[in-house]
Structure 1
């Protein structure tokens, strides 16, 4: 069975070291050289060190290097010359393999008078190790002191996973909490309103959602389609020193493929799908890579369009498949390497999203059915541009990144439940008629008639977010005892939202034109962050490293808002305005020790910190004491073990941790449920376990399994008379399941010459959770407690492949998340129904 090695890329600019052919490299004049200090050791370890130092992809089978040792290598060489010296006398040689090199046995041609036949294709090889850039420098995954999961883009493509939700079962520990607006990413039970608790990165760019009316940018994550992806790295646990304020629970890094200057190639993907209880979908992607100047200049264009089938039927309005969606976009990237030491990567992405309605269903209607009185489509356009400049020196690598993105969107949700809940509220009547005392019966009837006249309604919120992000960092290279990374970071983010409550047509649920406004207000948010960060590691012994990390942050956050059209139902009034700012500076620290217990057993212990900025609630009528909320912080204590057998067939990783979270930000509701806001509710403690294991080539099968245990509880009572929905000491944190597990088994066959087959079975279980703290809350709704299964099979022959799969094989209506729509029905968000998917890929 094959095992994949991911190229030793150093962040987004590592394509600057793409492998040219040896003959071209030897012929090129003035090629840059690097300093190598690799001691004599087992050949496999030496090749891995060479890959890390040179950022070159070196693929080899452990069986080939077993028992072989490399000579010591010290001096200044080209990467090719260094590789040749390591292999000298070993009986091994190198072949070009895409962007890197394949180590194979030397062969001697026998004398013959017959015409030479073309060499057979290289046999399948067991690729040695996965190289990642989680530490913002290249490192081997099994020797990186982070609890992490790496998923290759090839696997995503085979399974037809173009959304984070579809990829989530491959990323143990990642929880998606869906809402009317989007999805919140949660790791290690660090779940709460406010700024995101899990950092989302596309290549080098961190992205987030708009602050909105609820001071909650983490409630929706900007999602780019998972097309032409190199790999995904899921980093679990606080990454505050290297990744900053958005990574309290961890970080999700989506790394796209970059232009390849060694070849001109293209590919197309075509897919079709059909959903039980729903309709049909189709999609396609085209990829073109052009090496304009071999080894120096290349461009890569990726274009895609996908129509995703709907499965939700609105029984009230008589509309089927209301949540049908469409995603289309393009990404253009260019890579230029004027010398071996300098490279520049620039890219631009545009994506348009449209979803016809919310993908939730209601408890009163049953699975995949809703009774919403108003339609709530979503529209969004994302533009992302970035540039990465890299300089590779003999002892130091320097990387500079600048990114800009804009997200223009209109998000919507059904507001009818608020109207139902406030229809008989005397306070609303008093606001309508501007009376100091209680309304009389006639006024109450007239107030109810007014509410009826504007029922139903939706919350219609056009928004725009722009951000500029700059980072420069330097990292040491070489095999000495000291390694370090130092950097500076700057982010400026601005977003505005126009929040309208609008009447909709009771028959169609669509907006009425001209607009009938029940209320309107606007909010602006400006966030400026700067930081200096660094990590220093020192090898105190041959197999023991100590690492210290720190990030000095400084942020200023300003929130402004006002009311244009008073909403007598919810309680906004003309003339309301707020303009407030908060500022904070401080440190996020990390201390870590790692030790290689044996050749196949690596361990680490660490203490790390994370934080999020505070802010201001732009909520009319909120008491002054709740208008401003503070930053929150956590300390993470962690022990990790990573084990791998000598032949790489068995792998097992374990992480145990405890998180102490203080001043935690959380969502609360006003007494009339008309407004959500963020408040500091005190402290929580989270204890957990993360375990993954894999076994390859067991009776021809590859097996993998994971187990995640999370015990997240409050450690103090959260009592207030101005909010509802808070908890008591000992309550479990909402939404976070105690147990989650995944398992898979896969087998490949050689069916005929040039034709391979594949079969894969998957299963994932999400444990029970609740939507609020305790049974005393009206919204203590059960969620989770379900398992989903999938099966897929594929054929591959030369330059083509075809894959078929069935997702949610048993057609389970899993309640992944739940929330009450104010005074309306309960909203459930779950897995898609049984889906049959067919994908065809052709490479040219």
Structure 2
């Protein structure tokens, strides 16, 4: 049995300590004081959180030493323990329903499994943690305990030599962040560009974010005819992690801006759940039901089911979207050291009055076309229905040696069925509204992605020290099938007076056969390895690499034997502070050709990063400061010529560089006071000229909440602000000569409040865009713009089971 000693003055994040199996003394007290304290009534102040952290605080407050087997507590949650308790009674309350029991002897606190009676035999129950890091649900925190997004190693934020921003379950609940778009608006260093009513794109460090992960499994976003992953509802996720910079070690192909990892909720040992209903401005409403717990008496089979229904109405005339989400997951302990997980999710999005592209940016005179925020350029019949179907399975086994083997399988289908009509083409004449016509198209298709990842991780003894090693292999097959109709023949696309447009036009008579179709399969394979070398107690070196292949026959792409390196070092120069440096890479095949008809080499990205991280108050507060440089080589630019097949010819140049810095702090400033704040600065240049100007050079965000005490106990107040610098891009003009259009900088303020009538019942109010700031983003390809959402108020009532 591996045990841990927990003394009290200093606790690095407890869950990370447990998962790494490190021995760390945390409390020294006399045996006499320890013994007498067991019989005394002590006032405990312990929040609801993972069992490991709760036991650590309990031992410190009770004056005990704690010896604990890490495998016993992984994935388990403890309730709050507040007020005066005899030590033994307090311990029993803390462990109630966990399947564990405590024993105090000679000033030492030990924890062991409860013996479960069954009809056949006595059975031991072990719950694993899926090697994804610490669950944030129930922690009450805006910072995670540990994560595994960057390297597959389960590390604390301080131990990770790369910038990572995490939106925890608590922050999503506080500010009612029910969509990925809302989460990204709250994520430091990420900007959101809205194309139309269904599509957004996220940017970090000057590059679009197209790399997504689900529980660490890479899934590349393909949004040519759909929103891809950005319509996901957050009700099924425990947290959303954003790894800044290149992430080719685990993702393979992609861009060097950032990777978004969506970590799903997990089943609980005890029965728990919540039901909530709410509504907001413009007649929107939402309902949720989330239930989880053991499915048998022994507790070795656990499940969770989540359902949410939302009707979203906005400021836009004749627009609405109905969304339905189902999620189910089951965990089964096949043995004391083997965990099987099966799950699925299902989401439908059915809008009406969808826009396709935004509002025409300029009028016929070349001036800004300032339309009301309620203006909807979509036809009333225009719809962009989308759906997601996901099934996943995980098998994990822990060996006596401390090694863990894990197989993950994921199958996801993103589909769409659209009839689109939008008054977005042309430049309206301000005198009579003429000069504008419709875009009209019908698209039906889906992308099915099958992914598998197999890896083993564990300790490695070398040079008298224990190190960590990860060896893995992954594969992904993506097949995109699409049919499109765009030739509407005699259909009249002229809309008449643009300023009187209300979307009342007939739908085109689409042809029986599509005008074009697509059927493409992309295959990616990879072998990866990561090692964390314990050079000294205060110095860790992380080395790794990935050997990748990428094949898409339809695009004549076949890249194999590509090596993507990873290197990081972390030096603890103070009990609170660490300095780090990292180098990571990524590559992305591209289908464009040169004048001779040769496909350009893949884009290659690198990320250099230097920084300092700090961990305060036993990991309850994390802070970081980083400087970075990103570079893309083999960047494609037009030559002005043509390819042999008649397409536009490109040439590869070496160098789009982005340099900048980032600051972030997240977690608990004091009991009941949570914060997440960040500032980012980055400028991208190509041969000395600014590029990626649709993303802001500077961004700031700060969100905080505070739980009041005394007579106002039960009340939580919060708020925040986000600001971004001006952006600009080249747009089309009535004269045909491109020009630059600038979007000015802007602030958006938000606020929230929650009152807990009891431990079960609470009510919340969330106000977005508190000061009703009027702002917009541009889609420079179409020379259109989209207004940001005006002030909205959402009220919800939540009941916990």
| Pairwise TM-score range, normalised by the shorter structure | 0.7 to 0.9
Distance 2:423 2:320 in 1: 22
2:218 corresponds, among 206, 209, 216, to: 206
Distance 1:167 1:695 in 2: 17
Partner of 1:782: 742
Partner of 1:815: 776
Deviates more, 1:755-764 or 1:493-502: 493-502
- Is the CA contact (8 Å cut-off) linking 1:476 and 1:483 kept in structure 2? yes
Q: In the TM superposition, what whole-angstrom CA distance separates every residue of 1:210-239 from its partner, at most 9, and x where no partner exists?
A: 4748xxx9x753532000421121111111
Distance 1:678 1:497 in 2: 26
2:482 corresponds, among 497, 501, 505, to: 497
Asked if residue 358 in structure 1 is aligned to residue 355 in structure 2, the reply is yes
Give how far 1:159 is off: 1.5
Corresponding residue SS for 1:594: strand
Distance 1:649 1:405 in 2: 35
Partner of 1:483: 468
2:445 corresponds, among 445, 457, 463, to: 463
Partner of 2:603: 632
- Is the CA contact (8 Å cut-off) linking 1:240 and 1:609 kept in structure 2? yes
Corresponding residue SS for 1:598: coil
Partner of 1:182: 199
Distance 2:650 2:507 in 1: 36
Give how far 1:348 is off: 0.9
Partner of 2:568: 592
Partner of 2:270: 263
Distance 2:459 2:105 in 1: 31
Distance 2:638 2:524 in 1: 24
Corresponding residue SS for 2:314: coil
Deviates more, 1:794-803 or 1:91-100: 91-100
Corresponding residue SS for 1:295: coil
Asked if residue 327 in structure 1 is aligned to residue 286 in structure 2, the reply is no
1:403 corresponds, among 405, 410, 415, to: 410
Give how far 1:107 is off: 14
Corresponding residue SS for 2:173: helix
Corresponding residue SS for 1:155: helix
Q: In the TM superposition, what whole-angstrom CA distance separates every residue of 1:469-523 from its partner, at most 9, and x where no partner exists?
A: 0110111148953111110001111102222215467584656353269992222
Deviates more, 1:636-645 or 1:125-134: 125-134
Partner of 1:307: 311
Distance 1:282 1:168 in 2: 22
Corresponding residue SS for 1:337: strand
Distance 2:692 2:71 in 1: 55
Corresponding residue SS for 2:185: helix
Corresponding residue SS for 2:250: helix
2:300 corresponds, among 272, 286, 296, to: 296
Corresponding residue SS for 1:372: coil
Partner of 2:385: 379
Asked if residue 473 in structure 1 is aligned to residue 473 in structure 2, the reply is no
Distance 1:678 1:350 in 2: 42
Distance 1:300 1:668 in 2: 56
Aligned ranges 1:568-583 → 2 under 5 Å: 580-583=556-559
Q: In the TM superposition, what whole-angstrom CA distance separates every residue of 1:549-578 from its partner, at most 9, and x where no partner exists?
A: 100001111227xxxxxxxxxxxxxxxxxx
Distance 1:170 1:102 in 2: 40
Aligned ranges 1:665-704 → 2 under 5 Å: 682=653, 683-693=655-665, 696-697=668-669, 702-704=674-676
Asked if residue 238 in structure 1 is aligned to residue 223 in structure 2, the reply is no
Label 1:310 to 1:105 Cα distance change in 2 as closer, same or farther (>3 A).
farther
Distance 1:694 1:342 in 2: 34
- Is the CA contact (8 Å cut-off) linking 2:162 and 2:609 kept in structure 1? no
Label 1:670 to 1:748 Cα distance change in 2 as closer, same or farther (>3 A).
farther
Label 1:149 to 1:129 Cα distance change in 2 as closer, same or farther (>3 A).
closer
Partner of 2:25: none
Corresponding residue SS for 1:165: helix
Structure 2-normalised TM-score? 0.76
Distance 1:694 1:416 in 2: 44
Asked if residue 842 in structure 1 is aligned to residue 799 in structure 2, the reply is yes
Distance 2:290 2:772 in 1: 34
Matched length: 692
Distance 1:169 1:46 in 2: 28
- Is the CA contact (8 Å cut-off) linking 1:362 and 1:371 kept in structure 2? no
Partner of 2:701: 742
Asked if residue 152 in structure 1 is aligned to residue 152 in structure 2, the reply is no
Structure 1-normalised TM-score? 0.73
Label 1:518 to 1:737 Cα distance change in 2 as closer, same or farther (>3 A).
farther
Corresponding residue SS for 1:207: strand
Label 1:500 to 1:588 Cα distance change in 2 as closer, same or farther (>3 A).
same
Label 1:342 to 1:701 Cα distance change in 2 as closer, same or farther (>3 A).
closer
Partner of 2:290: 287
- Is the CA contact (8 Å cut-off) linking 1:757 and 1:794 kept in structure 2? yes
Distance 1:496 1:668 in 2: 32
Distance 1:836 1:676 in 2: 50
Asked if residue 347 in structure 1 is aligned to residue 347 in structure 2, the reply is no
Give how far 1:699 is off: 11
2:178 corresponds, among 151, 159, 162, to: 162
Give how far 1:625 is off: 5.2
Partner of 1:705: 677
- Is the CA contact (8 Å cut-off) linking 1:388 and 1:402 kept in structure 2? yes
Q: Which runs of 5+ in 2 are unaligned?
A: 23-49, 77-86, 108-138, 362-368, 429-434, 496-501
Label 1:46 to 1:264 Cα distance change in 2 as closer, same or farther (>3 A).
closer
Give how far 1:183 is off: 2.0
Q: Which runs of 5+ in 1 are unaligned?
A: 1-33, 84-89, 109-123, 192-196, 313-319, 422-451, 561-579, 618-622, 716-728
Deviates more, 1:767-776 or 1:798-807: 767-776
- Is the CA contact (8 Å cut-off) linking 1:162 and 1:227 kept in structure 2? yes
- Is the CA contact (8 Å cut-off) linking 1:460 and 1:499 kept in structure 2? yes
2:520 corresponds, among 518, 525, 534, to: 525
Asked if residue 225 in structure 1 is aligned to residue 233 in structure 2, the reply is yes
Give how far 1:536 is off: 0.8
Partner of 1:725: none
Q: In the TM superposition, what whole-angstrom CA distance separates every residue of 1:616-663 from its partner, at most 9, and x where no partner exists?
A: 69xxxxx86578454201111110211234566764311110112112
2:719 corresponds, among 761, 784, 790, to: 761
Partner of 1:132: 147
- Is the CA contact (8 Å cut-off) linking 1:59 and 1:103 kept in structure 2? no
Distance 1:522 1:743 in 2: 46
Partner of 2:397: 391
1:58 corresponds, among 52, 56, 66, to: 52
- Is the CA contact (8 Å cut-off) linking 1:642 and 1:654 kept in structure 2? yes
Give how far 1:143 is off: 2.3
- Is the CA contact (8 Å cut-off) linking 2:16 and 2:145 kept in structure 1? no
Corresponding residue SS for 1:559: helix
Partner of 1:721: none
Deviates more, 1:34-43 or 1:232-241: 34-43
Corresponding residue SS for 2:542: strand
Partner of 1:643: 614
Distance 2:624 2:631 in 1: 23
